[in-house]
Amino acid sequence: MNHSYEFQNIPKSRIATFDVYQMGLQKHHVAALLEFDVTESRSELRELKRSGKKISFNAFLIKAISKAVELHPEAAGYIYSKKKLMLFKDVNISFIVEKTIGGKKVPMPVVIEKSNEKTAEDITREIEDAKNYELTEKDIILNKKSQANEKIYYRLPKFLRIMFWRYMLSHPKFAYEKMGNVIVTSLGAAGKINGWFVHKSVHPLSFGIGSVLKKPVVIKDEIKIREILNMTILIDHDPIDGAPMVRFIGDLTDYIENFSRD
């Protein structure tokens, strides 16, 4: 019996995705599948757009995340040793942008440095610049010039690539400089999905942004139709305990649902 099939080349950048997933399996992440009422915030964003200010929804979420991490830096902390936790003053967020390499669409990270000090408009521009950035298969991070040793990463055998990841994750300052302490990926923009996706990550704090859907919600004993955002959060349980984790999520909810909060 003859079988019809074809081979496709895997983009080199996908190799890093394979490695990240394998290393992510070793992290002690707690997964939180949450819903946020973003009706008021999205209304505010539409008003700002009409007034000429360009703020994307993803940039707004990144800014809200940055504010919450500022209040609870341990939520994005790295374990330095058995007795020490390394916390960073600045919030550096990796945001995944879909790029086309060799005719294939692949996810690539752009590191938004000091996102806690930037406005949502600044972050919007940075994301747009990353989407328009011309790159090659040798690029690993969009807004960071790859060093010579990084460019050979994709040529290494798997065991050496895994050794590289283990080394980086055991040296928090190095990891922070390369990939930040938070990662955000938005799949909701690819299509409406009524649910959550549970991803893997090597970051201490990771966000999977889902779709915004209209759902019935009870408000003051009345059923109203609201815009609800589905989001998955992975929080490394090693640097933060359960109660502080809940307080972090509480402040994050406040920032996301109340656009005007400073």
Query: By C-alpha distance, which of 197, 237, 262 is closest to 66?
Result: 262
Residue in this structure with the two tokens 């502080």, named with its chain if needed: 244
Confidence (pLDDT) at 261: 44
Rounded Cα distance, 63 and 238, in Å: 25
Amino acid in position 182 = V
DSSP string covering 182-203: EEEEE-GGG---SS------SS
Report the SS3 class of residue 95.
Answer: strand
Give me the residue label for tokens 């539409």. 46
Question: How many Å apart are CA 189 and CA 37, to the nearest integer?
Answer: 18
Instruction: Output the pLDDT for position 142.
Output: 47
Q: What is the mean pLDDT of residues 3-15?
A: 79
Residue 252, C-beta contacts closer than 8 angstroms, at least 6 positions apart: 64, 65, 68
pLDDT value for 262: 45
Q: What's the confidence (pLDDT) of residue 143?
A: 52
CATH assignment of 13-257? 3.30.559.10
Q: Report which of 171, 102, 157, 98 is spatially closest to residue 130, judged by C-alpha positions.
A: 98
The Cα 211–Cα 188 span in angstroms is 4
pLDDT of residue 206: 97
Q: Give dist(CA 65, CA 43) in Å, integer.
A: 19
The reply to whether the predicted model has a pTM over 0.85 is yes
Count of other CB atoms within 10 angstroms of residue 120: 24
Distance CA 198, CA 217 (A): 24
pLDDT in tens, 142-168: 455 555 566 688 888 999 999 999 999
Count of CB atoms within 10 A of residue 72's CB?
20
- Decide: 76 and 205 in contact? Cβ < 8 Å: yes
Contact 231, 210 (CB under 8 A): yes
Which of 16 and 242 is assigned the larger pLDDT?
A: 242
- Which residue has tokens 């940039």? 59
For residue 134, the model assigns a pLDDT of 67
Q: What is the DSSP letter of 181?
A: S
pLDDT of residue 210: 93
Q: Flag whether pLDDT at 136 surpasses 90.
A: no
pLDDT one-digit tens code per residue, 170-224 = 999 999 998 999 999 988 766 788 889 889 999 999 999 999 999 999 988 999 9
Report the distance separating Cα 36 and Cα 96, nearest Å.
21
- Inform me whether the pLDDT recorded for 87 exceeds 80: yes
pLDDT of residue 193: 82
77-102: average pLDDT: 87
- Per residue in 22-46, pLDDT (tens digit) is 999 999 999 999 999 999 999 999 9
How far, in Å, CA of 186 to CA of 209, rounded?
4
Q: What is the pLDDT of residues 50-78, one digit of tens each?
A: 998 889 999 999 999 999 999 999 999 99
Tokens of 253: 């909810």
64 vs 260, residue with greater confidence: 64
Average pLDDT score over residue span 104-124: 89
Quote the CA–CA distance of 197 and 208 in Å, as a whole number: 7
**How big is the CA angle at 54 (ends 63 and 193), to the nearest 5 degrees?**
65
